Amino acid sequence: MRLAFIVSGYKRPDLLTRLVRALDGRPCAIHIDAKSQIFSEVVEALKGIPNVHFLPRHNCHWGMFGHVEASLEGLRWFRGTDCDYALLLTGQCYPLRTISSIESCLSALNGMSIIDYHSFPYSRWEKGGWSRVDRFHVHAFGRRWRIRPWRRQLPSGHHAYGGGSYWCLSRASAEYVLDFIDKHPNYIQFFRRVLIPDEIFFQTILVNSPLRDTLINDTIHHIEWTLHQPSPAILTSADSAFASGKWFARKFEDQSVLDIIDERRAENSYLGRQLHLGF
């Protein structure tokens, strides 16, 4: 099994470029938020690194559709590769295992995808998540607005599912998503006005699809959340990340923590291969 990576970033070019180098030469498509000023710096820093591709840029306002557009650009790029899986990351993620050991784990999954999903109403989200989809959410004049002319319903008769933003999709799942949106442009239009759609868009397509039984309902990341905070906590230690058994962790800001991960990554890959697949 061969991995390709889709990496989305908007700040800390030092962390983003370090992540790309840690991907061990695997094909990697990078999306830089169109509002960000780091694009030229990242391009220059990765000059000469093989298998790096830069995606068309979109404005990625928090909670809005630009994040989905960036991921879809990555899946379209992935379609043209010879890789078996597409794995979504941000520039503040980092691998806890060697890439070759992750690919070995994927070989044991027999073409299944890994994506976190929960049926609506989802108890961890306000109003079960319904307020994200049944109102119009727009970004204008530098802020986000919620408009309530009427209650909206998902197109195509789909039931809503939501979960973590980061996934590892097989080629079959990636192709299904792209074919689905080509055939159902109303689905894209609907989600342009959903709040935090990257946590609902892919789950809703795939869990309502014939591929449902090929989905592993889990996460590939170790992420720590603080109660009532909209963003994950900054990881200041590698211990909890390694203890999780996950393949990646986020969110990092301190290079010294990544130095520790680099020192321990090979050992973690060996233990993970011997004991479990990490899920």
Count Cβ atoms below 10 Å from residue 155 Cβ, excluding itself.
14
pLDDT of residue 271: 53
The packing angle between helices 255-275 and 13-22, to 10°, is 30
Q: What tens digit of pLDDT does each residue of 23-65 get?
A: 999 999 999 999 999 999 999 999 999 999 999 999 999 999 9
What the chain holds in terms of domains, given with CATH numbers, is 3-275 (3.90.550)
CA distances to 1, 53, 66, 171 from 84, rounded to whole Å, are 6, 17, 25, 5
Q: What tens digit of pLDDT does each residue of 79-94 get?
A: 999 999 999 999 999 9
pLDDT of residue 274: 42
CA atoms within 13 A on the CB side of 2: 8
CA atoms within 13 A on the CB side of 15: 22
pLDDT of residue 273: 45
Which residues, given as ranges, of the chain have pLDDT below 50? Answer: 273-276
Q: Which residues contact 47 (CB under 8 A, 6 or more apart)?
A: none
pLDDT of residue 148: 79
Q: Is the four-CA dihedral 47, 28, 83, 262 of positive or negative sign?
A: positive
pLDDT of residue 270: 59
Cβ distance 23 to 51 under 8 Å? no
What are the helix (H) ranges across 142-198? 171-183, 185-191
d(CA 223, CA 232): 7
pLDDT of residue 279: 54
d(CA 270, CA 86): 23
pLDDT of residue 242: 93
* SS3 at position 168: strand
pLDDT of residue 275: 37
